Amino acid sequence: MKTNLYWIFLFLFTFINCKQESKHKDYAIAIHGGAGAILRKEMSAEKEKEYMSALNNALDIGEKILKEGGTAMKAVEQVIIFLEDNPLFNAGKGAVFTNKGEHELDASIMDGQTAQAGAVGGVRVIKNPIRLARLVMEKSPHVFLIARGAETFGIVNGLDTVSNDWFDTEFRKKTWIKALEAEAKDSLGKLGMKYVNADSKFGTVGCVALDLKGHLAAGTSSGGMTNKRWGRIGDAPIIGAGTYAEDGVAAVSCTGHGEYFIRNVVAYDLIARMKYGTATLAQASHEIIHEKLKSLGGDGGLIAVDHAGNIELCFNSIGMYRGWAKAGKREVKIFK
């Protein structure tokens, strides 16, 4: 009888340990390069190849870190640095132009393990806003710093700076000039920014990751809206709106018409639907993007990974630059 109990105990012990390990033996990562109304007919084969290549390279960076046992935070930060430096996306180099022809950048990052977060809004001379967001999290007692104050904090702590026009690209300049011309033709447009069309909004970047230890992280970085003014801040630097991560639940990064994402606290709403309600990751994502936001007219999408490694890439716009990877599996797409 004693022998039997011994074997039963050994079996249960092994089984429980295996289950716990298997729960987190795999990493998972998802990225976005922005949701928007880019039309397939306007996308040349060459351009499409460039985007696909950039998204694949970003996933390579993240996967390498995660495979080697690096943290979800490191993967998220390094992937976003790569996307910020890539001029194809509306974050860092390649950010859209403000009404004054400048660039004002927003970013945030959150660590699901510690529930710590950092965010910056309206920064103009820090080369990689996501690095600054992480620095705010790690080296300041604050979560959210803005404008020159945020830049000073970054400079004091040794971050790379650039002149604001370093972020310029011809493509974004043309979009801005078009927006200015369209606005000038319309007497009511001055304050309404009605010519900031969907096309000029795409490009925000984001990354969510689950590491081998089962920890989650999320980050988002954006140049905001073309022709924006008055120090407009989107959802990218708002913890709860554009970014959220909570171990045991999920990590989320959003992209789209930021005002809708702020008012609907989208990233945390997904977490809450899973945590307090009965929704799965897939159900919560669908309800928010295809039901709630769609009914309100809020264009955009989100990427999310849950504690078990399930991934969702969900959008109600025509396309979303996106990709995901798990051990041995990968998908990169632009259109539906």
Q: Quick one: which of 43, 147, 180, 308 contacts a copy of itself (CB under 8 A)?
A: 147
CA dihedral 274, 278, 283, 285 (to 10 degrees): -20
Q: Is 149 in the site for a copy of itself (CB under 8 A)?
A: yes
β-pairing, 319-326 vs 28-36, is: antiparallel
- The partner residues of 320 in beta bridges, in order of sequence, read 35
Q: Is 195 in the site for a copy of itself (CB under 8 A)?
A: no
Q: Is 164 in the site for a copy of itself (CB under 8 A)?
A: no
Q: Is 239 in the site for a copy of itself (CB under 8 A)?
A: yes
Q: Quick one: which of 141, 158, 297, 328 contacts a copy of itself (CB under 8 A)?
A: 141
297 CB-near residues (< 8 Å, 6+ apart): 260
Q: Quick one: which of 113, 221, 255, 264 contacts a copy of itself (CB under 8 A)?
A: 264
- In terms of CB distance, is 70 or 248 closer to a copy of itself? 248
Residues from 13 through 72 that contact a copy of itself (CB under 8 A): none
Q: For the chain, what's the residue count?
A: 336
Report d(CA 332, CA 297) in Å as an integer.
Answer: 27
Report d(CA 257, CA 96) in Å as an integer.
Answer: 14
Q: Quick one: which of 177, 182, 198, 272 contacts a copy of itself (CB under 8 A)?
A: 272
Q: Quick one: which of 39, 277, 327, 329 contacts a copy of itself (CB under 8 A)?
A: 277
62 CB-near residues (< 8 Å, 6+ apart): 29, 31, 75, 76, 78, 79, 207, 209, 325
Distance of CA 176 to the CA centre of its chain: 23
β-pairing, 300-306 vs 311-315, is: antiparallel
Which of these segments, 52-60, 190-198, 205-213, 313-321, binds a copy of itself (CB under 8 A)? 190-198
| Residues annotated as catalytic (active site), given as ranges | 204
Query: Looking at residue 95, what DSSP letter applies?
Result: P
Report d(CA 1, CA 254) in Å as an integer.
Answer: 58
Report d(CA 194, CA 233) in Å as an integer.
Answer: 17
With CB under 8 A as the rule, give the number of residues binding a copy of itself: 52
Q: Quick one: which of 139, 173, 294, 329 contacts a copy of itself (CB under 8 A)?
A: 139
Q: Is 199 in the site for a copy of itself (CB under 8 A)?
A: no
Residue type, 54: A
Three-state SS for 241?
coil
Residues from 283 through 312 that contact a copy of itself (CB under 8 A): 296
- In terms of CB distance, is 139 or 173 closer to a copy of itself? 139
Q: Is 263 in the site for a copy of itself (CB under 8 A)?
A: yes
Q: Is 116 in the site for a copy of itself (CB under 8 A)?
A: yes
Q: Is 150 in the site for a copy of itself (CB under 8 A)?
A: yes
Q: Is 113 in the site for a copy of itself (CB under 8 A)?
A: no
Which of these segments, 64-72, 74-82, 87-95, 113-121, binds a copy of itself (CB under 8 A)? 113-121
- In terms of CB distance, is 47 or 292 closer to a copy of itself? 292
Cα end-to-end span (Å), the chain: 61
Whether 108 contacts 119, CB under 8 Å: yes
Interface residues with a copy of itself (CB under 8 A)?
Answer: 110, 115-117, 121-122, 139-150, 152-153, 156, 191-194, 196, 229-234, 238-241, 244, 258-259, 262-265, 268-269, 272-273, 275-277, 279, 296
